[in-house]
Amino acid sequence: MSNRGHPFAGRSFAVIGDLNRAERLYLYTRARELKEAHRSDDAVVLDRFRINNPDFGMYEVFLEDSTRTRESFKNAAHFHRLKFSELNAASSSFNKSESYADTFANLIGYDNRMFVIRSRLEGVCRYLAEQTVRYRARHDTIAGVSFINAGDGRHEHPTQELLDEFTFLEDLDWRVDEIHLALIGDLYHGRTVHSKVQGLGLFDRVRVDLVAPPELSMPRAYVEDMREQGFTVREFASIDEYLATGGENVARQWYFTRPQLERMGERVLRRAAALRSAITFDPERIDLLPADTVFYHPLPRHREHPTIPVRLDDTPLNGWERQSANGWYVRMVLLAMLAGHIGTDYTGPVGPAPPAEPEFITDVTHETQARRRDREERHLSEGIRPISDGLVIDHIMVGASPEQIRSHLATLISVMKLHGRGGEWVSTGANGAYKGLLFRPGHAGLTEREVRKLAAVVPGATVNVIKNGGVHGKFRLGHPARIYGLPELICRNEACITHPSNGEQTLPSFRRSRDGHYVCEYCSGKHKFTEVWLRALTGEESMGTV
C-alpha cells in the first residue's frame, strides 16, 4: 500500500501538538461517526472504518503498568483485524541493557508499522521516529512507521488527551468557543494534565482552575506556558478553597487525577493523607456544585482512597465511565488515520505548525563602517585597539551578574575552542550594566557555521572580525529559534531520553519559547539558555530533574 500524499499515514504521535487543531477536530468528527455507528450497530459504516489488514503489524510495548490505555489499544487493533503483538517487557533484552534504538530496529525489521509505547523515559516516541528515518534509509524500506506515545514519564499522554477533549466536546455540544475546566489532584506528576497545556488550545477561550496542594501543584513552566497562550489560570490549594469562591467562579467541568504515590519521595509520602484530603471530593458538598457539573478522571481510582468517592458513581456527575469508553473510539480512529486508511477527505493544514525561525545573525559591518564616529563605536574601538588582526566578541550576557558572566565566558571558550592568546573580562557597558568581552588576537575569523554556533552560546553578543587594524566584519547575534546537534548540550531532565544517563547516545535539541527559555524538543523540559550548556562547562552529566 503506497500512502504518499496521505495526510496522516506513517506519522507519529508523541505529543498532543503532533496533531494540529484542525486535524484533531477531524479525528473527533470521525470518532463521533464511529461511536454512533457502533451504538446503532451499523455494520456497513463500521466496516468502512476497519483497516482490515492482517499483514499490518501493530506492537504494544508497555514498560510501565496500564489497564485502560493498553487494553483499549488492543481492542482497537482487534476491531481493525491487524497483526497485533505485545512485547513482554519483563523478559525482554531491555533487561540486558539493550538500547531503545536497537530494540525497535528489530521489531520494525519484522514488518511492524505501528508501535504503542509507554515508558518512564520522556521523549521516547519522538526519538524513535527520528531513529526510524535513519533505519529506513539504511534498509531502503518505503512504508512509514508510527510511534504512538501511551504515556512517557511525567511528560505527556497525548491519546488520553484525545479522549478527554472528545468527551469535553461531547458535553459542550461540540462547541469550541469556550471551556472552563478545573484540574484537580496530582498536577505535578500527572502527564494527562500536562498534555492539557497544549491540548486546551483546541478551544478559543480557556479558563483553567488548578486545584492542588503545593506539593502536587502544576510545574511552573506549564503554568507560564498556559498564561502565554492567553488562558486564564487560577490556583487553589484544595477543593474546599475552590468551592469557597462560589457561584459562577466554579467550573462545570471537573477533571480529577489520582495522587501518583509511586512517583513520590519519602518526604511527600509522609503527608499522603493530608494531600489526599485536599483533592478528594466530599459528597456532602454536592450542593455547592453548579448545575450540570460533570466529573472526569483518566482513571485508575485508588480502591481505598478514590478522589471521586464510589458513592458518586450513580449520580449525573459521572462522566468518567463514558470518558473511558470513548478511549476505544478515539483510538480506533487514530489507528485508522495513521495507517492511512481514513483521512483522504481531510482538507485542512497538515502537521504541527513549524516554529518561526527568524534570522538571528545580522551583518552590521556597513552600518558600523558608516558610523565610525558613533559614540558606541568609539567606545568599542578603545577595547579593540590592541588588536590589528583577530576576533573581538563584545556585549556578552549584558545585564547578568559578574559571576554569571565569568562562568559563561568559560563555557564560550570551551564550546568554541577559543583557548589561547588574548583576554576576556567583565566590564561595564555604556548603560552601566555588566557585560563580558573576549578578544583573541591573530584569530583567523569564523565560518558561517561557527557564527551560528556562537549565536547559540552568546546570544545578544556582537562579533567583530578585525583585519589590518580595522573592523572587517561585524555581526550582531540574536537568539536562535533552535539550538541542536552539538555535543556540548545537555537536557538536565534525567528522565529525558537524551540524558546521558539513559545511554541512548543521542543529543538533545531545544526550541526557544515565547518567554526566552529553551524547551527540550523531546521531554519539554524548560531551560535557561545557560543551562543547556552546563555539560560544556562542568562535564557534569546529571543535574537533577527539572
Residues that bind ligand NCD (CB under 6 A): 68-69, 151, 157, 160, 191-192, 257-258, 260, 298-299
Give the residue with the Cβ less far from ligand NCD, 151 or 508.
151
Angle between the 21-39 and 320-338 helix axes, to the nearest 10 degrees? 110
The total number of residues written for the chain in this structure: 546
C-alpha 71/C-alpha 519 separation (Å) is 33
The three-class DSSP label of residue 314 is: coil
Residue with cell 467541568: 253
Residue with cell 511552573: 220
Q: Which residues contact 26 (CB under 8 A, 6 or more apart)?
A: 343, 346, 348
Beta bridge partners of 185: none
Query: How many CB atoms neighbour CB 303 within 10 A?
Result: 7
Residue with cell 482552575: 209
Give the residue with the Cβ less far from ligand NCD, 68 or 482.
68
C-alpha 535/C-alpha 516 separation (Å) is 20
Q: How far is the CB of 529 from ligand NCD (least distance, A)?
A: 31
Q: How far is the CB of 13 from ligand NCD (least distance, A)?
A: 15
Nearest to residue 38, comparing CAs of 81, 79, 82, 92? Answer: 79
Give the residue with the Cβ less far from ligand NCD, 161 or 209.
161
C-alpha 77/C-alpha 492 separation (Å) is 37
C-alpha 400/C-alpha 398 separation (Å) is 6
Q: Are 253 and 181 in contact (CB under 8 A)?
A: yes
Give the residue with the Cβ less far from ligand NCD, 319 or 480.
319
Give the residue with the Cβ less far from ligand NCD, 3 or 160.
160
The amino acid present at 283, given as its one-letter code, is P
Q: How far is the CB of 297 from ligand NCD (least distance, A)?
A: 9
Give the residue with the Cβ less far from ligand NCD, 299 or 426.
299
Q: How far is the CB of 323 from ligand NCD (least distance, A)?
A: 9
Give the residue with the Cβ less far from ligand NCD, 6 or 191.
191
Give the residue with the Cβ less far from ligand NCD, 294 or 392.
294
**Of all residues in this chain, which one has the CB nearest to ligand NCD in the complex?**
298
Q: How far is the CB of 159 from ligand NCD (least distance, A)?
A: 8
Query: How many CB atoms neighbour CB 34 within 10 A?
Result: 23
Give the residue with the Cβ less far from ligand NCD, 230 or 300.
300
Nearest to residue 170, comparing CAs of 288, 299, 321, 22? Answer: 321
C-alpha 511/C-alpha 493 separation (Å) is 15
C-alpha 406/C-alpha 316 separation (Å) is 62
Enter the DSSP assignment of 471. E
C-alpha 252/C-alpha 268 separation (Å) is 30
Give the residue with the Cβ less far from ligand NCD, 77 or 458.
77
Q: Where are the alpha helices (DSSP H) in 229-364?
A: 239-243, 266-269, 272-278, 320-338
Give the residue with the Cβ less far from ligand NCD, 302 or 467.
302
The separation between CA 274 and the C-alpha centre of its own chain, rounded to angstroms, equals 31
C-alpha 267/C-alpha 265 separation (Å) is 6
